[in-house]
Structure 1
Amino acid sequence: APHAKSSAHLPARILEGRSTDDDRNARGALGVRSRGVEPRARVQLSEDVRGARGQTKAAAAGPEMTTTMDGPLVLPDPKVKGAGLYAGIGDYVKVQPKRYAPKTLRETAEGRYWRAYKAPALINAVSQVTSLHFAETYPYQLAVTSSARVTVYNSQSRKQHRMFARFKDIAYSGVLRSDARAMVVGGQAGVVQLFDMNSRSILRKFEMHTRAVRSVKFSPQSYATIASASDDTTVRIWDVAAGECVRRHDGHTDYARSVAGHPTAQTTWASGSYDHTVRLWDNRDGSTSATMTLDHGAPVEDVAWLPSGSLLVSVGGQDACVWDVLGGGRLLRRLRCHQKTIMSCHVAADGGPPPVLEHGSFAARVGAGGGRATAPRLLTGSLDGHVKVHELDDFSVTHSAKYPGPVLAVALSPDANALAVGTANKLLSIRRRTKPRSHALGGGGGDPGFHKVGPSGRRKAPRRLDAGSWQYFIRGMNAKAAEGDFKVKRLRSVRLQAHDRALKRFRFTEALDASLAGGRPEVIAAVIDEIAAHGALSKALAGRDAAALQPVLRYVMKHIGNPRHTRQLVHVAGMVLDIYGGSVGASREVDAALRLIRERVAVTLRLHDSLAALAGVASPLLTVGQLAAYRAQ
């Protein structure tokens, strides 16, 4: 009791740098030796002293009193949040994760947007996936063509919904009607078949092609019109109601591999062929010849219209060509962004992140409209295993994704929440956004009843309650405080993490284990610093068996090469070797982890040497460049 009175003010005096007889007496009473007796010791309060003084006073005086190896007693500053265990008497301050300088931005907003397509559903197909097509209406079913079957998946659950296998040979180009109630499929046998989605029965068969039908499409404006492109070099237009061919277009001199209907003109079609040309057909005149011929320069694998219908995209070889159809068929841009043949292209009317567009920008002109700026994107898939996204304002590549095989087909759902890719090694990948795009774009509004609207259409401001109104006296607990009201802050209990709960009880080993289990390097580094500030890092590391030592060694091995953690982890690794150096060889797991740490350190040192040599080589070049720029100015 006599010592308790003098020791109650001990932390404040130590922080101010004063040393009095009362302080020395308090140190003696609390079990902390003076520097004259043991200058390099790190001594903490014993458990029985803490229990005798109570948790509050122990928190105020005990844990903060630590002698260091290099100077006088050092205490955390209670004014700095997260600097120590306690900000005041009895107030615990949670350990704040380490904060570092931000890294250099290596990824654009577009890249982050496309990387939100995660958790791919990888489905093994029976053969290579040759065609993908999403329905235009919810739930945006996906038709996947592979070998002699067409499988329909639900794009929301990514589970199989229907399977069509009534084909004598390989099926090609399964395409769903916009209402997803019918599907048209080509095939190796040269037959175009129309299926009912509910009963899976064949509604129509068109058998006038003499070779394989590689591409079929519904007219964007009519359910009753179908177009097909065949290896017999012809493009045919079919009337579903009559069940017959109403137009045959001859002009290609090699296999016709793709066909696409104009988004606004029902009578206009485009087809691509292995004769290196893209031809435009108009069904209004009686002629069977093309109204426009575009030279792609390589066998054409696929064609697609942009939403406005003024531009056409053709892909083949290593190039993707953008044609200005309304401008007489001039080549607007040739994109060479793949190392191998481009097999598929897909135009999404609103597939990218919402742009901030200036008036009259290209993306705004070709977008689908609808009251807000759209973000049309061009997706291309190639045999080099890459899917690349092109922005249609300057046709630059904004994102690239690598797949484990040659890409044969790519498609994006109309709501831009599902991305499907088919490869030549029998793999179907369906990626979905972790957060729906409508929410990511900030869709949705506030409560429609938030403001009352008067007869004139103007919003009425809510009436201010005062003592002259009876509503003032019947306010409930949810009423908002008005001007002049006294506000009493509600004391909220602070939720502590596992490592914070352990630190609050001075269980440093448990705190270190809890932070390592969490896995966040910033939190682990902060906990290690907190434990080291109390001189208990060696205690937290000691007394571990092989299983308990493994998480520490794994963390050191993983992050010792990171410049943000190198200084701290070198110290931790040194302490581990000092404590357990005599036990090396007793555990294979520990020995293997130590070898990995040694290898990681060696690799990091070699990397530093290489970077130093590179800096020496680059320095003269940079100097010459700076001199040239200075002389030019």
Structure 2
Amino acid sequence: MAAEVQPLQPLRLAAGPAPTTPDQRYWARFSSQLQIPSHHSNPITSITTPQIVPSSSLPSQNALDTFAVTSGSLLQIFSSRTRKPLKNITRFDAGNTARSAHIRRDGRVVVAGSDSGLIQVFDTSSRAVLKTWRERKQPVWVTRWRQNGPLTDLMSCGDDQGVRLWDLTEEKSVREFWGHGDYVRAGEWMTSAGGSDAAMIASGSYDKTVRLWDARVGEGKSRGNVMTFAMAAPVEAVLPMPMGTTLLASADSTVAVLDLVAARPLELLRNHQKTVTSLALASHGSRVLTGGLDGHVKVFETTSWKVVAGSKYRSPILSLGMMAEGSAQEDKHLLVGMQSGVLSIKTRLSGQQKAQAKEKEKEMQALVEGRIEEYDMKKSSRRRKKGKMWERNMRGKDYTGEGADIVIDGNARGRLNNLKHHAPWEKALRQGMYEKALDIVLENNNRQAQLTLLTALKHRSALRTALKGRDEVTLLPIIKWLIRAINDPRCAKLTTDIGCLVLDLYSEHMGQSPEVDHAIRVLHERVRKNVELSQQAWSTLGMIEMLGAGG
């Protein structure tokens, strides 16, 4: 009985470097963008999102599902589920700008400052004013509830050069920190390792310093300042890392990574072209987002502090935040507030959510165009076809061996004994017509088939037979294939063997065809560049090995 003729197994090259990194693909999924213009196109001065800290006092679900936005004299509380405003609060002095609204971790109250020096606390349900402080007349740029500890504690920073602690039950500030020599435009509560509350505050000022304040240190004009970092420019934003040992501070176009244990800078991130105005945490603290007046949002990983992704916006960025959702608190909404008064909300959708959103968009389009009945009929037809297809696939299935560990199908002998089901180039290969087989795959431009055939010819010692005796018309496709394939290091050995054979067979005929001569010159240039790159790579590897040996 004749042996069964099996088709050649397609050659699969090792996976090369991906054109995009996992981080780039992850952040590219924030694509469902919603742009919300502010009233009177006022700049979006602040976006504050829930801060998740590792402690027993986690934010309520109500607080986790909402974030606060300020623009002009308007404070808005948004729902992260609907991406729409739940409440609009306008109870600020006429002509004053609201700044830095922050929702308490129980979700019941929100605090905000303004340019008149007014600090107000509102009920998030009724929008009623619960508390008002008017100690100062200068603008208040930062208000933050304490993330751990009493629910009544909060802090503020402003243009009066001071940092203040407040108690919701008191009529005046309960503690003041002085030491900055200019406007204080940035401030955040610090947490220590494990999420415990150390009652410490980090503040950044236009006097080019970042200071740490400890409420446990005794009273006095300059008491409480436990650490000071000098910066190269006015400080616009500060961001404590979750473990409490690292602090980020932006000054001009640079972001400094400050080590609070060693009291020195760890890194200086110089990836923006203009002032960095805002900082935010993402991915459970493993990524940091930066936004600047250059309109760029950049994503840094927190191990080597390298940029792993980024995006460009049409207007300078004044504020940004990341909203997480679900029990695992996965990144869900990327929030960006711009000078143009536009609030951008980009949402990361799952595969099923994307399909549902696309189908919903089609349905709405049909409704607008008056084709909703036609759309419904097509949708019903697709469902019926899907059901019939499933029935056809299931019809005649034999499940008698379903419970067996091994099922051996019978060999349909003779079905593959001829070349009827093989590709044309494979039929020519089986019949020993190597030159014809090579011409077919080069004409079809199927890269996998080309590599499979050329490898098979090499293993059969038939490459020379397939390449010899060609004229300029049939030789040019081979040289052009070499020009394309020579840059792929995964098939360098194969392209080298074929190139050497072509030169061995046709070098004495060079100069007779301008087209072939030009193709050979292009191939020579490609080879030269690849050799240079290879030499540079080896030199770099040698330097890395020396550094490793020295360490």
Shorter chain as denominator, the TM-score bin is 0.5 to 0.7
2:349 aligned with 1:422: no
* Matches of 1:114 and 1:182, distance apart in 2: 32
1:232 to 143, 160, 166: 160
Q: Indicate the SS of the match to 1:178.
A: coil
2:277 aligned with 1:317: no
* Matches of 2:227 and 2:204, distance apart in 1: 12
Alignment of 1:80-229 (within 5 A): 105-126=18-39, 127-135=42-50, 136-138=59-61, 139-168=64-93, 169-221=96-148, 222-229=150-157
Give 1:619 deviation, angstroms: 3.9
Structure with higher RCO (Cα < 8 A, 6+ apart): 2
Give 1:102 deviation, angstroms: 7.3
Alignment of 1:41-440 (within 5 A): 105-126=18-39, 127-135=42-50, 136-138=59-61, 139-168=64-93, 169-221=96-148, 222-263=150-191, 264-284=196-216, 285-289=218-222, 290-327=225-262, 329-348=263-282, 350-351=283-284, 376-414=286-324, 415=329, 416-435=331-350
Contact 2:144 2:189 in 1 (8 A): yes
Q: Indicate the SS of the match to 1:110.
A: helix
* Matches of 2:36 and 2:524, distance apart in 1: 45
Q: Which letter does structure 2 place at the counterpart of 1:177?
A: R
The residue aligned with 2:394 is none
* Matches of 1:171 and 1:179, distance apart in 2: 22
Q: Which letter does structure 2 place at the counterpart of 1:190?
A: G
Contact 1:305 1:347 in 2 (8 A): no
Q: Indicate the SS of the match to 2:173.
A: strand
Distance 1:100 1:283, change over 3 A: same
Distance 1:436 1:181, change over 3 A: farther
Contact 1:253 1:275 in 2 (8 A): yes
Deviations 1:312-354 (CA, angstroms, capped at 9, x unpaired):
1111201111111122x21111111101000000123x34xxx
Distance 1:385 1:618, change over 3 A: farther
Contact 2:166 2:172 in 1 (8 A): yes
Give 1:288 deviation, angstroms: 4.0
Give 1:246 deviation, angstroms: 0.5
Q: Which segments of 5 or more consecutive residues in structure 1 lack a partner in the other structure?
A: 1-76, 82-98, 352-374, 438-476, 490-524, 527-562, 565-607
* Matches of 1:378 and 1:488, distance apart in 2: 56
Give 1:121 deviation, angstroms: 0.7
* Matches of 2:88 and 2:15, distance apart in 1: 50
Q: Indicate the SS of the match to 2:117.
A: coil
* Matches of 1:180 and 1:480, distance apart in 2: 59
Q: Which letter does structure 1 place at the counterpart of 2:322?
A: L
Q: Indicate the SS of the match to 2:23.
A: helix
Contact 2:135 2:172 in 1 (8 A): no
* Matches of 2:30 and 2:251, distance apart in 1: 27
Give 1:612 deviation, angstroms: 6.7
Larger mean Cα displacement after TM superposition, 428-437 or 406-415: 428-437
The residue aligned with 1:482 is 403
Give 1:210 deviation, angstroms: 2.4
* Matches of 2:18 and 2:291, distance apart in 1: 27
Contact 2:100 2:141 in 1 (8 A): yes
Q: Which letter does structure 2 place at the counterpart of 1:245?
A: S
* Matches of 2:182 and 2:321, distance apart in 1: 26
Give 1:615 deviation, angstroms: 5.8
Q: Which letter does structure 1 place at the counterpart of 2:212?
A: L
Q: Indicate the SS of the match to 2:197.
A: coil
Bigger fraction of residues in strand:
2
Q: Which letter does structure 2 place at the counterpart of 1:209?
A: R
Alignment of 1:610-625 (within 5 A): 619=529, 622=532
Q: Which letter does structure 2 place at the counterpart of 1:175?
A: H
Q: Which letter does structure 1 place at the counterpart of 2:270?
A: R
Deviations 1:583-603 (CA, angstroms, capped at 9, x unpaired):
xxxxxxxxxxxxxxxxxxxxx
Q: Which letter does structure 1 place at the counterpart of 2:186?
A: S
Contact 1:319 1:335 in 2 (8 A): yes
Contact 1:164 1:200 in 2 (8 A): yes
Contact 1:409 1:422 in 2 (8 A): yes
* Matches of 1:259 and 1:479, distance apart in 2: 71
* Matches of 1:170 and 1:478, distance apart in 2: 72
Q: Which letter does structure 1 place at the counterpart of 2:88?
A: M
TM-score, normalised on structure 1? 0.52
Deviations 1:398-455 (CA, angstroms, capped at 9, x unpaired):
1111111111111011331111011111111111111299xxxxxxxxxxxxxxxxxx
* Matches of 1:155 and 1:479, distance apart in 2: 52
